[in-house]
Amino acid sequence: MSSETMKLKVHVWRQPSKDQPGAMKAYDVENVSPHMSFLEMMDTLNEQLQGKGEEPVAFDHDCREGICGMCSMVINGLPHGGHRGVTTCQLHMRHFNDGDEIFVEPWRAKAFPVLRDLVVDRNAFDRIIAKGGYVSVNTGGAPDANAVPIAKKEADLSMDAAACIGCGACVAACKNASAMLFVAAKASHLGHLPQGQPERFERVKNMAMQMDAEGFGTCSNLSQCEAVCPKEISVRVIAEFNQDLIKSQLKGG
């Protein structure tokens, strides 16, 4: 593609508040460079809207470096745009063509109510973490780094799970709006470390109960969550979580 600017027709979900109905609204966005990120294209749209005295589109963003997970958008039906291992802020406009129509919506889930436009309330994730996604045992002072030996395989599995940024793309992709990939990743991160063992089975039980209480659906093992995860978390963590959940029930937890 050439470096010339593009003109796009962008259909955006507009919703004034959580208590008001929303609808898709189309905008022509001009002077879009292929080198822009998707959020920079949204910035350009908002500049055009403000120049006309119209309300800009509300959307979440923070680091714009693929780290924080705030940039939650469903683009053409796929969370984060559907490119493997990429967040919305790292999706570039060179993947689109001049004259394209692009549809932008918020995460769709009962547990993620829309607050305004593309902004959803993801506090349900925080409440799940508060139920067990931490280590609370009294370990005293911090030991030397090499005082607690951890096998490389276990350390790697823990770090792979810890890569989860809690963006919620897994929920948005799942037909049941399941949060299993997120919850299992947080549990797996601690479950592969010695520090996480004392509370391991209590942790998965409490997190599973809170996940259900928040209104997330059940896992259907179709792996859409893994396909759209910007950190490419494996569904292996879900199998581990289910195994630990069964063990917690057998232990009478």
Q: What is the DSSP letter of 111?
A: T
How many structural domains comprise the chain?
2
Evaluate whether 161 touches 233 at the Cβ level (below 8 Å).
yes
Mark which of 57, 89, 115 sits at the end of a domain. Answer: 115
Whether 108 and 61 share a structural domain: yes
The pairing of strands 101-105 and 6-14 is parallel
Pairing of strands 6-14, 23-32: antiparallel
In this prediction, residue 115 carries a pLDDT of 97
Residues 71 and 92 in one domain: yes
143 and 239 share a domain? yes
User: In this structure, is residue 1 part of a structural domain?
Assistant: no
Closest-CA residue to 60 (of 85, 86, 42, 36): 42
Please tell me whether residues 73 and 146 are part of one structural domain: no
* pLDDT (0 to 100) of residue 2: 46
Does residue 64 belong to any structural domain of this protein? yes
Write down which residue in 67, 92, 115 finishes a domain. 115
CB 89 within 8 A of CB 75: no
Same domain (yes/no): 103, 204: no
Q: Under DSSP, is residue 103 helix (H, G, I), strand (E, B) or coil?
A: strand
| CATH value at residue 86 | 3.10.20.30
Judgement on whether residues 93 and 189 belong to the same structural domain of the protein: no
Q: Render each residue's pLDDT in the chain as its tens digit; 253 residues.
A: 445 899 999 999 999 999 999 999 999 999 999 999 999 999 999 999 999 999 999 999 999 999 999 999 999 999 999 999 999 999 999 999 999 999 999 999 999 999 999 999 999 999 999 999 988 866 567 677 678 889 999 999 999 999 999 999 999 999 999 999 999 999 999 999 998 999 999 999 999 999 999 999 999 999 999 999 999 999 999 999 999 999 998 877 5
Q: Would 65 be classed as within a structural domain?
A: yes
> Which CATH number does the domain housing residue 227 bear?
1.10.1060.10
Same domain (yes/no): 240, 152? yes
End residue of a domain, out of 55, 80, 115: 115
| Residue 127 CA, distance from chain mean position | 15
Is residue 222 in a domain?
yes
CB-CB contact of 174 with 238 (8 Å): no
User: DSSP label at 174?
Assistant: S
In the chain, how many H helices and how many E strands?
8, 7
Based on the fold, state whether residues 76 and 52 are members of the same structural domain: yes
Q: Are residues 139 and 107 in the same domain?
A: no
Residues 151 and 200 in one domain: yes
State pTM to two decimals.
0.92
Query: Are 38 and 92 members of one domain?
Result: yes
Domain that holds residue 38: 6-115
Contacts by 79-82, CB closer than 8 A, 24 or more apart: 79/107, 79/169, 79/172, 79/173, 79/228, 80/167, 80/169, 80/228, 80/230, 81/38, 82/228
176 occurs within a structural domain: yes
Do 87 and 167 touch, CB atoms closer than 8 A?
yes
- Asked, for residue 27, whether it belongs to a domain, the answer is yes
CA–CA distance, 188 with 160 (Å, rounded to integer): 9
Distance CA 79, CA 230 (A): 9
pLDDT 10s digits, 3-39: 589 999 999 999 999 999 999 999 999 999 999 999 9
Query: How far apart are the C-alpha atoms of 165 and 143, rounded to whole Å?
Result: 27
One domain, residues 179 and 228: yes
Alpha helices for 131-235 (secondary structure H): 152-162, 169-173, 180-191, 200-213, 224-228
